[in-house]
Amino acid sequence: MKRILVLLLTLIMCFSMLAGCSAPAQDAGAVAPEQDSQAKAPEIQQAAPAEEMLKEIEKSLMTQLQPLPEAGKNEKIGVLIISLTNSFWANMKTCYEQAGKDLGITVEVLTGTTEGDTTSQLETLMTMASKDYDAIIVSPIDGTNLIPGIIQCNQNNVKVINLGPGVDTKALEAAGGHLDGKITVMFQDQGRLCAEDMVSRLSGGGKVAILQGLAGAAQSEGRTTGAKAVFDASKGIDLVAVQPCDWDATIAYDATKALIQANPDLKGIFACNDVMALAAVEALKSEGKTDVLVYGVDFTADAKASIESGGMMGSMTYSSAIYTKAAMLYALKLVQGQTVEGPVYSPITLVTQDNVKDFDGWK
């Protein structure tokens, strides 16, 4: 089904290109778990590109969550995100709060101090575990830092859903804990799709590099694995560096300058998030480099502006508004005694300089 959903959104792209009108044009499509082997691409309606794609994403997520829960009755849901210093997570906070209002749920979004402060994030969860939440949604900094807090939630009979960056479930089970649900995206496919698009634009091959996030973070490891597999398998592509940058703009900026000095003929950079990608673009400008393809992940507002102005070449995205709505519905299902079989996956898509205009109105 994952490949079917990839084809689903890709077909939307193809039909829109042929029609030359309003259906969405995409470089790549969605990924999701096995649902229905007979699924077919829907009839294309005359709608704005972003609107059409958002409908398809919502349809995919709502299908995975069937049957949907009853309307909210002011249930109290806690959400623990990674950091408000990253604009992606700041936007996720806003989306969570809006979803709560729309669904009749009381939502409280909390975070640690900085994007790499695993201790602070755990301390926050330990405090949340003793509050009167009906369920808590957690996005850990790394795979193990929240395990003691999750176990405390288990002991206090608070449902725990893991959104996005993954909890190490084997380590959690070994410690005597468990998750009640998981909603995420295919991180490996995010890296793969960026790398495939980059390689398709480098007809003569060339040197490329990867800027990683925090070591041990599932999203960084998955995106790196996906991109590296494509680069390693592509004729004429030379992966010269896989550089950890800890999600930090300053580190990514300095790493990019060092890469250019060591490899003045560098042709492409895949950064595991937009913060590092934008820093790479600035570093390249400082070195007078305008021909290096830079890709990121998250499609933040700053990344969108960079793509539109010819800075970044592309960024992976999914709908934060629909993603958080699905997480809230997932929490409601658990609180109401329903179950969900297996993880729920949000579709993803690639935004590039070629199709960025189709993402006006994206949310």
Higher pLDDT, 40 or 177: 177
Q: With beta carbons less than 8 A apart as the criterion, state whether 81 and 139 touch.
A: yes
Segment 77-110, tens digit of pLDDT: 999 999 898 889 999 999 999 999 999 999 999 9
Give me the mean pLDDT over the 37-55 stretch: 54
The pLDDT confidence band at residue 11, using thresholds 50, 70 and 90, is very low
Q: With beta carbons less than 8 A apart as the criterion, state whether 49 and 61 touch.
A: no
Give the Cα separation of 218 and 307 in Å (integer). 26
In the predicted model, is pLDDT for residue 24 greater than 70? no
The structural domains of the chain, ordered by start, are: 2-65 (no CATH), 76-185+319-339 (3.40.50.2300), 187-317 (3.40.50.2300)
Higher pLDDT, 42 or 73: 73
Percent of the chain at pLDDT above 70? 87
The pLDDT confidence band at residue 35, using thresholds 50, 70 and 90, is very low
Give me the mean pLDDT over the 59-67 stretch: 95
In the predicted model, is pLDDT for residue 153 greater than 50? yes
Q: What pLDDT is recorded for position 116?
A: 86
The pLDDT confidence band at residue 72, using thresholds 50, 70 and 90, is confident
In the predicted model, is pLDDT for residue 194 greater than 50? yes
Give me the mean pLDDT over the 259-271 stretch: 97
Give me the mean pLDDT over the 232-253 stretch: 97
In the predicted model, is pLDDT for residue 338 greater than 80? yes
**Burial (CB count <10 Å: 0-12, 13-18, 19+), residue 66:** exposed
Mean pLDDT of the chain: 88
Give the 3-state DSSP-derived string for the chain, with helices as H, strands as E and coil as C. CHHHHHHHHHHHHHHHHHHCCCCCCCCCCCCCCCCCCCCCCCCCCCCCHHHHHHHHHHHHHHHHCCCCCCCCCCCEEEEEECCCCCHHHHHHHHHHHHHHHHHCCEEEEEECCCCCCHHHHHHHHHHHHCCCCCEEEECCCCCCCCHHHHHHHHHCCCEEEEECCCCCHHHHHHCCCCCCEEEECCHHHHHHHHHHHHHHHCCCCEEEEEEECCCCCHHHHHHHHHHHHHHHHCCCEEEEEEEECCCCHHHHHHHHHHHHHHCCCEEEEEECCHHHHHHHHHHHHHCCCCCCEEEEECCCHHHHHHHHCCCCCEEEECCHHHHHHHHHHHHHHHHCCCCCCCCEECCCEEEECCCHHHHCCCC
User: For the whole model, what pTM was predicted?
Assistant: 0.83
Give me the mean pLDDT over the 46-63 stretch: 84
Q: What pLDDT is recorded for position 49?
A: 83
Which residues is 209 bridged to in the sheet?
A: 241, 269
Q: What pLDDT is recorded for position 13?
A: 39
Q: What pLDDT is recorded for position 112?
A: 87
Percent of the chain at pLDDT above 90? 80
Give me the mean pLDDT over the 251-280 stretch: 98
Q: What pLDDT is recorded for position 342?
A: 84
Segment 230-240, tens digit of pLDDT: 999 999 999 99
Higher pLDDT, 23 or 315: 315
